[in-house]
Structure 1
Amino acid sequence: MFSELVELLKTTEWILVHGGWVLFAGLMLYMMYELYLEHIQIEWYNNQKWVFLKITVPPENERSPLAFEHVFEQLHSIQETFSWAETHLEGQMQMWFTWEITSIGGVIGNYVRISPKYRDTLEAAIYSEFPAAEISEAEDYFAKLPQYDPEKSPYDIYALTWRYTQRNEYPIRSYRYWEHPTAETMVDPIAGLWEEMGKISPYEMFILQFVMRPVGDEWKGRAKEFVQKLKGVPEFQEGHGHGNAMLGIIGKIIGPALDVLLRPDSEAKAGHVKEEPPSLMLHLTETEKQVITQIEAKIARWCYNTKIHGMYIAPREKYQPTLLLRSVIGALKSFGSDDMNALKPLLARWTRVKYYLFEEWEKPITQFRLHWRKRKYFKFMKNRFWLHGPPAQIMSSEELATLIHFPQLTVKVPQIDMVRVIKEQPPPDLPIVPGL
């Protein structure tokens, strides 16, 4: 055993002396660069200003989620491009915003946290689709809570994150799945979530937080290659990437020459060449074709990198998150299907930590892990920070509009913060009495 260790050390020394140190130095430089980049990004982020807005639902809303799809398409215009110096020297990065659906004591509200320079874009997008809605500055509800400590705070939390179950290319079911064109009606898929959020007690709070960051077209190249693979296009069957496609082109060029050299003359003249079909679309089932159509429709839309978090808050003596969380998880589960995508809680990060082998022996470690997760969740949900926390998934404007929209007139939501008095502009020919 000792001799094997000595031999391993000698081998490592030989590798380092004969050029291995270059690789080691490169890895160290890369790690230092990543730490430096995160440092300057956090410094830049700390200098940014934010505005917290309350979106009050218009009364007697008759607009479908399609209107909210247009809202998210307009909001995608906040995407920016940066120079090399702005990114690597100043730490600038693409900004994000949050849309938060809350239930505070059973009263459902909509809040948006966004950079002030994008406020006009947000207001224009919402007012163009919902003229009767109201947008006003509000106090952050997190600011009303005392500093959270898992052991000492008078309240406790339960937090979790939802993730896709499949690749980003697959969409979830959208609101179009529940539309009935013949009857000109739609069963609102999110109505069950509003119903459950409206039932919580006055001392409870639940937050469903969507952190959204516009994403460009850089992911669509890989997505289109994936679609070609699903269609059965030959050059995409053995793997992804332009490298495999290039090898296929080279093979087509030199293949006939190799046939002439390696085959007998009779076989070459007979032309025993097996022609492959352009794709296997004719052999796919109707369900498989529909999946491909849905993926192509998602690629064609504007998309966001999205993180979905949920948090339940209640006094310790009345802390009962199980019933509500089961209902919320079940409501979001209805948007999934076996042949496309689904939203599922990320079990490796939610605030429920299980022991590995021996419950009593592992209890101190389990408690430490649980408290660490709760502190971390509370911090990044309160700060709405993008760089930390679970990874994001790519969601289209249609998928987001399915999850975030105002209830229609036919949907009865128990307690939702709604505009009570509709404000109208005065008529242009209104007489004005001087001196009043």
Structure 2
Amino acid sequence: MDITIDFAPFFDAAANSPLTVGWFLFIRGGWIPVIVVILSTFWHVRLRNIRAAYLHHLSYTILAIDVPKLNEQSTRAVEQIFAQLAGAFSSGNLIERYLHGKNQESFSFEIVSLGGYIQFLVRTPTHFRDLIEAAIYAQYPDAEITEVEDYTGTIPRQYPSDEFDLWGTELKLNRKNAYPIRTYPQFEHTLTQKFADPMAALLEIMSHMHPGENIWIQWVVTPIGDGWKEEGIQVAKKLIGAHVKHSPTLTERALQPVRSVTGGASEVLLHGLGIAPFHEEGAAAKDMPSQIQYLSPGERAIVEAIEAKISKVGFHTKCRIVYVAKKEVFDKARGVVGALGAFSQFSALNLNSFEPAGKVTTKANYFFTTKRIAKRQRKIARAFRLRSKELGWGHGMILNTEELATVWHFPIAEVKAPLVKMTEAKKGEPPSELPIETGTLLLPYETAQDEIKAAPPENLPL
């Protein structure tokens, strides 16, 4: 049976104009991918809108946290607070996700300096307030937690502004999420066991703000599952020379049937010509032993650090830094350079570090700089005010509990930043002999108990 394909109509259409070719392809099945693209775009826009509406209709609470001045807890206590927040992870069922827009709620851990007055804050969905308070009181029984108003309402929403100027950015990792930053165990001297608190430099910069100046630092953390750890496993395997599993992309999966057909046809053709077909030695590569015994000490330390990171709970994280001040006191050298310099402490040259995301930083060069900077100022001010996990640069980064506790924790007793808000007195239980009211007299507790006791019988044998 002979199959004949007639290309004459196509060539006739091509001889006329590109529009004729396009119409020819469209009416002969080209409309299918167009409809697929339109429906896919509509679906994703709708899903994004209902997810944003779900988060918008939630009730939120901002809590100010004050710990005692003589804070003897280590940074590990804050790590336990973040670990406890993993219990808030909930993916929801299909109806909740795609019909009602349910998506994972976030928590915002913030350090703010309002004219040099420093406060630690947590913004939480109201239904998770008990979770936050329980996690903090479990590690800091003497802490004071107070609900406060949102401080972001004190600055304008539109820029440029006649009264205020604003600089802002988001931080990102300069390598893959699998590589950790420098964490708090590495700030402890191995011999003296003295902890050089990295928070000290940041709080010192923030305490030097003048009246009318503000530095706000925000860590928006979102509980996630364990799927992010697969990247770390693959990176570690690659470093030690082990076989790395390749996950085919959507395009590769779509083309797999075509590759199978063409591959089979080529083998038949090569056999007919008497040529042995070429096969990749994939099985031999899988059986190759790892090369970990040949790693240098530095390479081995990298592998161990990656494995240590993926061994702990991770969070999708966005970090925003905003320096906003009245124009007469606005000074980027004082408010910006010092804050960014404090974050360089967390850099590990062989692992990971933070860097500003250039696409959202309020900076522009060459053309239309004023309008471009004002647009970026409005965007980052809005993202900060909403504590958004979506707005801004990319998809953020993934930090584990140890990394989060390193960049956001209460200062230890040795940190002497003068304007950090802390509790002045320790709360305690009332004394056991506190007088209580019985009738019209105030009697000690023990005396009141004695009076209500029954008298012994008169005929008690002696």
TM-score by length of 2: 0.81
Residue 354 of structure 1 deviates from its aligned partner by 1.0
Residue 13 of structure 1 deviates from its aligned partner by 3.0
Q: Is residue 376 of structure 2 the alignment partner of residue 373 of structure 1?
A: yes
Q: What secondary structure, in the 3-state scheme, does the structure 2 residue paired with 1:114 have?
A: strand
Residue 111 of structure 1 deviates from its aligned partner by 0.8
**Aligned-partner Cα distance in 2 for 1:319–1:95:** 35
**Aligned-partner Cα distance in 2 for 1:5–1:93:** 53
Q: Is residue 317 of structure 2 the alignment partner of residue 317 of structure 1?
A: no
Residue 418 of structure 1 deviates from its aligned partner by 0.7
Q: Is residue 302 of structure 2 the alignment partner of residue 296 of structure 1?
A: no
Which residue, 381, 398, 417 being the options, matches 1:394?
398
Which residue, 220, 240, 245 being the options, matches 2:246?
240
Q: What does residue 335 of structure 1 align with?
A: 346
The 5-angstrom pairing of residues 28-427 of structure 1 reads 28-143=38-153, 145-233=154-242, 235-236=243-244, 240-241=246-247, 277-355=288-366, 362=367, 365-391=368-394, 392-427=396-431
Whether the 8 Å contact between 1:147 and 1:153 is mirrored in structure 2 is no
Letter in 2 for 1:127: Y
Residue 9 of structure 1 deviates from its aligned partner by 3.5
Residue 147 of structure 1 deviates from its aligned partner by 3.3
Q: Deviations over 1:97-143 (max 9, x none)?
A: 10110111111111111011111111111111111111010111112
Whether the 8 Å contact between 1:212 and 1:306 is mirrored in structure 2 is yes
Q: What secondary structure, in the 3-state scheme, does the structure 1 residue paired with 2:81 have?
A: helix
When residues 130 and 181 of structure 1 are mapped into structure 2, their CA distance, relative to the original with a 3 A threshold, is farther
Q: What does residue 259 of structure 2 align with?
A: none
Residue 151 of structure 1 deviates from its aligned partner by 2.9
- Larger mean Cα displacement after TM superposition, 154-163 or 223-232: 223-232
Letter in 2 for 1:225: Q
Residue 280 of structure 1 deviates from its aligned partner by 1.0
Q: What secondary structure, in the 3-state scheme, does the structure 2 residue paired with 1:317 have?
A: coil
Whether the 8 Å contact between 2:223 and 2:316 is mirrored in structure 1 is yes
**Aligned-partner Cα distance in 1 for 2:65–2:94:** 37
Higher Cα radius of gyration = 2
**Aligned-partner Cα distance in 1 for 2:33–2:409:** 52
Gaps of 5+ in 1: 248-261, 264-272, 356-361
Q: What secondary structure, in the 3-state scheme, does the structure 1 residue paired with 2:409 have?
A: coil
Residue 154 of structure 1 deviates from its aligned partner by 1.3
**Aligned-partner Cα distance in 2 for 1:7–1:219:** 50
**Aligned-partner Cα distance in 1 for 2:285–2:124:** 59
Whether the 8 Å contact between 2:178 and 2:231 is mirrored in structure 1 is no
Residue 225 of structure 1 deviates from its aligned partner by 2.0
Residue 155 of structure 1 deviates from its aligned partner by 1.3
**Aligned-partner Cα distance in 2 for 1:5–1:349:** 48
Residue 146 of structure 1 deviates from its aligned partner by 4.9
**Aligned-partner Cα distance in 2 for 1:276–1:190:** 48
**Aligned-partner Cα distance in 2 for 1:380–1:274:** 48
**Aligned-partner Cα distance in 1 for 2:415–2:151:** 27
**Aligned-partner Cα distance in 1 for 2:100–2:72:** 46
TM-score by length of 1: 0.86
**Aligned-partner Cα distance in 1 for 2:94–2:240:** 38
**Aligned-partner Cα distance in 2 for 1:159–1:190:** 20
Whether the 8 Å contact between 2:170 and 2:392 is mirrored in structure 1 is no
Residue 434 of structure 1 deviates from its aligned partner by 2.3
Q: Deviations over 1:295-330 (max 9, x none)?
A: 111111011100000111111122112332111111
Q: What secondary structure, in the 3-state scheme, does the structure 1 residue paired with 2:328 have?
A: helix
When residues 66 and 49 of structure 1 are mapped into structure 2, their CA distance, relative to the original with a 3 A threshold, is same
When residues 429 and 82 of structure 1 are mapped into structure 2, their CA distance, relative to the original with a 3 A threshold, is farther
Whether the 8 Å contact between 2:142 and 2:426 is mirrored in structure 1 is yes
